[in-house]
């Protein structure tokens, strides 16, 4: 099971075949914010609650899944 927020976001982004620039645009940032997405995925920055909610809605997961270590998204993550 992926435990860190950044790793979960990276996995979901890759699952949906989005570039970091695509993800930035879809959550309301300019495509130049690709560096910000990279910092989140590498656990160098923690996004504010508003961004976590946008990410959860975009990826179809709960905010609990993104933030907690003990909630698998899929059965194969156990």
CA-based torsion, 12, 53, 77, 37: positive or negative:
positive
Secondary structure (3-state) at 48: coil
Mean pLDDT by 10 residues, the chain (78 residues): 85 97 92 86 94 97 91 55
Q: Which domains does the chain have, with CATH numbers?
A: 5-71 (1.10.260.40)
- Round to whole Å and give the CA distance between 22 and 16: 10
Give the global pTM.
0.83
Neighbours of 34 (CB within 10 A): 17
> Are the CB atoms for 17 and 24 separated by under 8 Å?
no
**pLDDT for the residue numbered 74:** 57
Torsion angles phi and psi, residue 62, rounded to 5:
-85, 155
């Amino acid at each position: 099971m992926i435990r860190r927020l950044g790793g979960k976001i990276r996995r979901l982004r890759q699952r949906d075949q989005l570039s970091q620039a695509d993800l930035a645009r879809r959550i309301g940032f300019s495509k130049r914010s690709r560096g910000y997405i990279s910092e989140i995925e590498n656990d160098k920055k923690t996004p504010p609650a508003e961004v976590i909610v946008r990410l959860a809605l975009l990826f179809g997961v709960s905010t609990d899944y993104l933030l907690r270590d003990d909630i698998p998204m899929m059965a194969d993550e156990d």
